[in-house]
Structure 1
Amino acid sequence: MKRSKIRGKKALRTIISLQLIIGLCVGQLAAANELSFAQSINENGDQLQTNIKGELSAPLVNDQSVLQYLSSNKRSIGVSDPAKELTMKQKSIDSEGRTHYLYQLQVDGVPVYGKYIRIHLNKSKRVTEIRNELAEAPIPEIPKTLNPKLSSEDAIASLQAHLENALGFEFQLDDSIDGRPLANSPESTLMIYPFQGKSYLVYETELSFVAPKAGHWIA
Structure 2
Amino acid sequence: MNKKLTATLVMTSLLASVFTLQAGAANDKQVLKDEKGSVHTVTGSLGKVGGGSAEARAFAALDKVKADFGFDSAAANFKIKKSHKDENGTAHTKLDRVIDGIPVFGEQLIVHELDGDVQGVTGTFEKLSKGASKASVKEKDAVQGAIAHTGFTGELSEAPTTTLVYYPQNGKAVLSYQVDVRYNAPDAAGNWQIFIDAVSGNVVDAINKIDFAKPGGGGGGGGGGTGATGTGTGVNGDRKSINTSLVNGSYVLEDTTKHMFQTNGSKIVTLDYRNGTSTQYAVTDADNVFDASTQRAAVDAHYYAGATYDYYYNQLGRNSINGSGSEIKSGVRYYSGYNNAFWDGRQMTYGDGDGVNFKAFSGALDVVAHELTHGVTDYTSGLVYRDQSGALNESWSDAFGAVLDSGDWLLGEDITLPGYGAKAFRSMSDPNTYGDPDHMNEYVNTSSDNGGVHTNSGIPNKAFYNFATAIGSRSIAGKVWYTASRDYMTSRTNFSGARAATLQATAALYGSNSSTYTALQSAWSAVGVN
TM-score (structure 1 length as normaliser): 0.59
Query: CA shift at 1:195, angstroms?
Result: 1.7
1:152 aligns to what? 139
Contact (CA 8 Å) 1:77, 1:132: kept in 2 or not? no
Show CA shifts across 1:171-200 (max 9, x none).
1354xxxxxxxxxx6322222222224442
2:130 aligns to what? 142
1:36 aligns to what? 30
1:172 aligns to what? 156
Contact (CA 8 Å) 1:152, 1:190: kept in 2 or not? no
Contact (CA 8 Å) 2:168, 2:174: kept in 1 or not? yes
Contact (CA 8 Å) 1:59, 1:126: kept in 2 or not? yes
User: Once the two structures are aligned, what percentage of the paired residues are identical?
Assistant: 22
Matches of 2:65 and 2:172, distance apart in 1 = 28
2:86 aligns to what? 94
Matches of 2:156 and 2:33, distance apart in 1 = 49
Show CA shifts across 1:60-112 (max 9, x none).
55111221332355444432232122112232333443322222222211222
- SS state at 1:117 partner: strand
Matches of 1:118 and 1:153, distance apart in 2 = 34
**Which one of the candidate residues 111, 124, 128 is aligned to 2:119?**
128
Show CA shifts across 1:22-57 (max 9, x none).
xxxxxxxxxxx63322379xxxxxxx9652212223
- SS state at 2:80 partner: strand
1:78 aligns to what? 70
Contact (CA 8 Å) 1:172, 1:211: kept in 2 or not? no
Matches of 1:199 and 1:121, distance apart in 2 = 30
Distance 1:191 1:67, change over 3 A: same
Distance 1:68 1:113, change over 3 A: same
Matches of 2:130 and 2:31, distance apart in 1 = 29
Q: Unaligned regions of 5+ residues in structure 2, if any?
A: 1-26, 195-530
Contact (CA 8 Å) 1:98, 1:120: kept in 2 or not? yes
Contact (CA 8 Å) 2:97, 2:107: kept in 1 or not? yes
- SS state at 1:116 partner: strand
Q: Unaligned regions of 5+ residues in structure 1, if any?
A: 1-32, 41-47, 175-184
1:24 aligns to what? none
Contact (CA 8 Å) 2:31, 2:68: kept in 1 or not? no
Contact (CA 8 Å) 2:70, 2:127: kept in 1 or not? no
Q: How does 1:13-24 map to 2 (within 5 A)?
A: none
1:67 aligns to what? 59
Contact (CA 8 Å) 2:49, 2:61: kept in 1 or not? no
- SS state at 2:127 partner: coil
Matches of 1:85 and 1:76, distance apart in 2 = 15
- SS state at 2:130 partner: coil
1:216 aligns to what? 191
Matches of 1:196 and 1:66, distance apart in 2 = 29
Distance 1:148 1:160, change over 3 A: same
1:193 aligns to what? 167
Distance 1:199 1:65, change over 3 A: closer
Q: How does 1:51-66 map to 2 (within 5 A)?
A: 51-58=41-48, 61-62=52-53, 63-66=55-58
Query: CA shift at 1:147, angstroms?
Result: 0.6
Counterpart AA for 2:155: F
The answer on 1:116 being equivalent to 2:108 is yes
Counterpart AA for 1:218: Q
Contact (CA 8 Å) 2:161, 2:181: kept in 1 or not? yes
- SS state at 1:157 partner: helix
Matches of 2:90 and 2:170, distance apart in 1 = 37
1:7 aligns to what? none
Provide the aligned C-alpha RMSD in A: 3.2
Matches of 1:88 and 1:129, distance apart in 2 = 17
Contact (CA 8 Å) 1:54, 1:128: kept in 2 or not? yes
Matches of 1:125 and 1:205, distance apart in 2 = 39
Contact (CA 8 Å) 1:67, 1:82: kept in 2 or not? yes
Distance 1:101 1:53, change over 3 A: same
Contact (CA 8 Å) 1:190, 1:201: kept in 2 or not? yes
Matches of 1:67 and 1:138, distance apart in 2 = 19
Matches of 2:179 and 2:56, distance apart in 1 = 31
2:176 aligns to what? 202
Query: CA shift at 1:162, angstroms?
Result: 3.0
Matches of 2:78 and 2:49, distance apart in 1 = 21
Show CA shifts across 1:125-165 (max 9, x none).
5321112511xx532x211x3111123333223222333xx
Counterpart AA for 2:177: Y
Distance 1:57 1:154, change over 3 A: farther
> Higher Cα Rg: structure 1 or 2?
1
Larger proportion of strand: 1
Distance 1:72 1:131, change over 3 A: closer
